[in-house]
Amino acid sequence: MSAVLEIEGLRKTYKSRRRGTRNALDGFDMRVEAGQVHGFLGPNGSGKTTTLRTLLGLIRPDGGRMSVLGHQVPAALPQVAGQIGAIVESPQFFPHFTARDTLDLLAGAGEVPRHRVDEVLELVGLRDRAGDRVKTYSLGMKQRLAVASALLKDPKLLILDEPANGLDPGGIREMRSLVRDLAANGMTVLLSSHILGEIQLICDAVTIISLGRRVAFGPVDEVLAQHSHGTVRVRLEAVGDLPTAADLLDRGGIRVTAEPDHLMLSGVDKPAVVSRLLADQGLYVSELAPVAVDLESVFLELTATAPVPGQHRQVDQSTKVGGPEVTRGGWGA
Ligand SMILES: Nc1ncnc2c1ncn2[C@@H]1O[C@H](COP(=O)(O)OP(=O)(O)OP(=O)(O)O)[C@@H](O)[C@H]1O
């Protein structure tokens, strides 16, 4: 597979008098294959927007290499800009313009054929409201208009930062099928979102960023499998045998958590070993099932941002340069 987007060792520090010099990106890597829907995940302040803005030439990086569709950016951005559609920050529209006026204006400025305006209005489900002023739109409709504007150029790479923001469940589902349709027609989509269930449903692959560095990447199934830690649920024919079984497995080197009517095991490479160990002692398994982890638990584990009861996480993932302090979305009472 060929890469539409490649980032290697991207660095960006922000300097301010009050906060000093802080690393927002600390050698970040990313690779997005052609035709993929690729999820870009990270806690607040981990560097997602900085990455996307750097890619689009809106911020100058301090180091690293980036290429889009085989061209080095930002140097070759003029050559590839026409093939990238992006919504990185909520775009502002003229409130008195209709959606059609807005898209006509953008199409004119971008030398896009006018028939494309009707196509994108249809695609994002705004055809019937195209003649209404934007100020009468709901948040979700404005979001759809933003996507429509990013689609005008029929880009090869579409970058969507939080496209489901403000959408109702029906809107989220429609956005999901729109993104899948675009990918099915050959568009590569890079999607940042905090709705992890959505990312798990929609994306072929993910990159997870934490503290300005990549902490996981690859096909969603592989990322989940890598972090499932061989977790297996075991039920026995006789519930009363669970303590004996737990003891036996524990002595066999398997980590066991006892639940009222079953055992959770982790670090199990081959489930057959478990059934054999138990059967040898006359304990018969009625269920032996691998437990799938979801993207949310992998995300919380890798970014160390799972909630801690009684504490409030202080959100800032940037790291201070030239000092011992590391702000890691730290926990404060
Ligand atoms: N213009 C700026 N000046 C100084 N610091 C900045 C600037 N923009 C971002 N930062 C800092 O860089 C770090 C990364 O921010 P960034 O916006 O890239 O995170 P993010 O992953 O997009 O977060 P979120 O999920 O909240 O949108 C944060 O610590 C942020 O405070």
We report the CATH number of the domain holding residue 113 as: 3.40.50.300
201: domain range? 3-225
Q: For the segment 86-100, what is each residue's pLDDT rounded down to a tens digit?
A: 988 777 899 999 999
Q: Give yes or no: residues 80 and 188 share one domain.
A: yes
Q: Give yes or no: residues 209 and 285 share one domain.
A: no
| Predicted confidence (pLDDT) at residue 329 exceeds the cutoff of 60 | no
Q: Give yes or no: residues 81 and 42 share one domain.
A: yes
Q: Give yes or no: residues 100 and 200 share one domain.
A: yes
| Predicted confidence (pLDDT) at residue 291 exceeds the cutoff of 90 | no
| Predicted confidence (pLDDT) at residue 327 exceeds the cutoff of 80 | no
pLDDT for residue 314:
67
- Does residue 318 sit within a domain? no
Residues 204, 209: Cα–Cα separation, whole Å: 17
**Count of structural domains, the chain:** 2
- Does residue 57 sit within a domain? yes
Among residues 208, 237, 178, 179, the alpha carbon closest in space to that of 297 is found at 208
**Stretch 217-230: mean pLDDT, rounded?**
87
Q: Give yes or no: residues 44 and 102 share one domain.
A: yes
pLDDT for residue 8:
97
Among residues 284, 282, 252, the alpha carbon closest in space to that of 270 is found at 252
Distance (Å) from CA 110 to ligand 1 centroid:
30
Distance (Å) from CA 192 to ligand 1 centroid:
14
Which protein residue has the closest C-alpha to ligand 1 atom 11?
A: 24
- Please, are residues 227 and 299 in contact by the beta-carbon 8 Å criterion? no
The CATH number of residue 275's host domain is 3.30.70.100
Give the type of residue at 182. L
Ligand 1 mutation pick, 165, 318, 321, 328, max ligand atoms within 8 A of CB: 318
- Does residue 80 sit within a domain? yes
Q: What is the DSSP letter of 329?
A: S
- Does residue 65 sit within a domain? yes
48 lines ligand 1 (CB under 6 A): yes
- Could you tell me if the ipTM is greater than 0.90? yes
Identify the band that residue 140 occupies on the pLDDT scale cut at 50, 70 and 90: confident
Distance (Å) from CA 317 to ligand 1 centroid:
8
- Does residue 252 sit within a domain? yes
Q: Give yes or no: residues 58 and 162 share one domain.
A: yes
Q: What is the DSSP letter of 311?
A: -
